[in-house]
Amino acid sequence: MKRLFILLLSLFIAFPLFSASYSFRISASAGMRVVNIEDDWTRAQMDYLLSLDALAVRFDRHRISLPFFAGYTDKSAVDAQYNFLSPYYSLGIGLEYDYAFTDILELRNSICYIFRYYYNMNGLLNEIRLQSSIAYTFSKFFSITMPVSVSFSKDEIDFLIGLGISVNLEASR
């Protein structure tokens, strides 16, 4: 954690050399999460995520940020054996790198560390999430995103595909 902080502090100090600008983004997305537990137990859950990306800088076509996440995942459908996955809230932080191919098309890649809180059971679980999104900017301030992610936690692998919208505020582009 100390090394990450030193790296980010160095980047913020060196940004004037790259003619960087401050960038702010709020994103919301919803998607279907497919969960595979113990190789023979697969369920689907709806996932809702809100991301606040206040610690970000853009230089040229590159963007580096530390987004904060908050989300809710609904319980899964009940199968014939009355097994379902419990709903949970999630909080996390990530490291994101974005590359803008054009002014309207951007690829966003992130790695996140997320805590899940299962309120029915009063339990915590952590996960690592790798996410990639294509963003289509249809106006100066709004983008449509299509996130695809894979998450790893104890005895579980999740796959998610969703649809979202981002509000982008930047000093310059």
Q: 116-165: per-residue pLDDT in tens?
A: 999 888 888 899 999 999 999 988 889 999 999 999 888 788 899 999 99
Say how far apart CA 129 and CA 158 lie, in whole Å. 9
Residue 33 in contact with residue 46, Cβ under 8 Å?
A: yes
Structure tokens at 149: 């992610």
pLDDT at residue 132 in the model = 95
pLDDT at residue 173 in the model = 45
- The number of angstroms, rounded, from the C-alpha of 43 to the middle of its chain's C-alpha atoms is 21
Segments of the chain with pLDDT less than 70? 1, 4-5, 7-9, 11-19, 38-41, 78-83, 171-173
Say how far apart CA 17 and CA 57 lie, in whole Å. 13
Q: What are phi and psi of 5, to 5 degrees?
A: -65, -40
Say how far apart CA 33 and CA 47 lie, in whole Å. 6
Nearest to 143 by CA among 131, 135, 152: 135
Residue 44 in contact with residue 35, Cβ under 8 Å?
A: yes
pLDDT at residue 66 in the model = 92
pLDDT at residue 82 in the model = 59
pLDDT at residue 40 in the model = 63
Q: Please tell me the pTM assigned to this model.
A: 0.79
